[in-house]
Structure 1
Amino acid sequence: MAKGRALQLYKALLKESSKFSDYNFRHYAITRTKDAFRANKSEPDPVKIQDFLHIAQKNLEMIKRQVTIGEMFRAERLIIDNDS
């Protein structure tokens, strides 16, 4: 069950992170998500896994808020943003 929840959160975090309009924020959020899940991939302790999933859920909520705020104050796109 935790594995399915982890995969669901992973996909949701990547999808939401890709919505950042700023390249630097987008790149950081995607990289940080991948690194965090990779680092905890082989964690055997169910309590630590639940703690990690709780933190991931909180981060997802934070990213959703930040994307919304970023859209309200959208700046001019950078040249590097045209490639993404």
Structure 2
Amino acid sequence: MISNVINSATLNFYKEAGIKAIGSRLRMLTDKITDDAAAIYKLYEVDMQPKWFPVFYALSKKARTSLIKSNTNTMM
């Protein structure tokens, strides 16, 4: 019951705010996708947070690589 009230209030906010709320909507969508990915990892007994997948994937494709690239041209 309370979640329906909150969802209704949230939807009303986004309807009123319009396109200006796109950043918030995208963050909510990202959070939902990340939560779903974590549930899938747990289902398959993968002990890793979804945010680390790109790092481990990149490391698995190269024998040696750096996680941080130094670029002296952008330093101030």
Q: What is the TM-score with the length of structure 2 in the denominator?
A: 0.38
Higher radius of gyration, 1 or 2:
2
Q: What is the TM-score with the length of structure 1 in the denominator?
A: 0.35
Higher relative contact order by CA 8 Å / sep ≥ 6: 1 or 2? 1
